[in-house]
Structure 1
């Protein structure tokens, strides 16, 4: 495809190369779904689950149909299974979110 899937990992170096200094990365684990016992993470998980459920089709459709050769119907069936798995409170799914901090040089 000629595309990189490591943009998040490459971002600190790209930001430094652009001339920013004191580049630092803070990583967070966000739950996907309201499975956490922590009230704040439970609320974050609810919103994150909604983001995933509404975004997955757009994230997957072109890749799976154009690159992997799946049909539209195959992708939609698979996404239905993924959504069901994400809603299962016995599955403690999360994703890592990286925030890059930097400042302009003086």
Structure 2
């Protein structure tokens, strides 16, 4: 099922440069629309979800076991909880065209 979906999307990407070249959405062909969606929406939102999950949902014991204890861990916790989400939201807003 997944393979078939990937195959169909791949065909759309190939066709966007030949038989579907004249079909455009907002001045973009199919591959450009997929690129915009993945790089402008999916990647920043996935990164934000991972940062929020890692910083706020995962237990401190699990992250401390992986990263060790000490000043570096406390700095990492501060960054992953507060700085990284703000940075990712700023990147996301820039990618979708919000002036800032």
The TM-score range, normalised by the shorter chain, is 0.3 to 0.5
Structure with the higher helix share, 1 or 2: 2
Structure with higher RCO (Cα < 8 A, 6+ apart): 1
TM-score using structure 2 length: 0.33
Structure with the higher strand share, 1 or 2: 1
Structure label with greater radius of gyration:
2
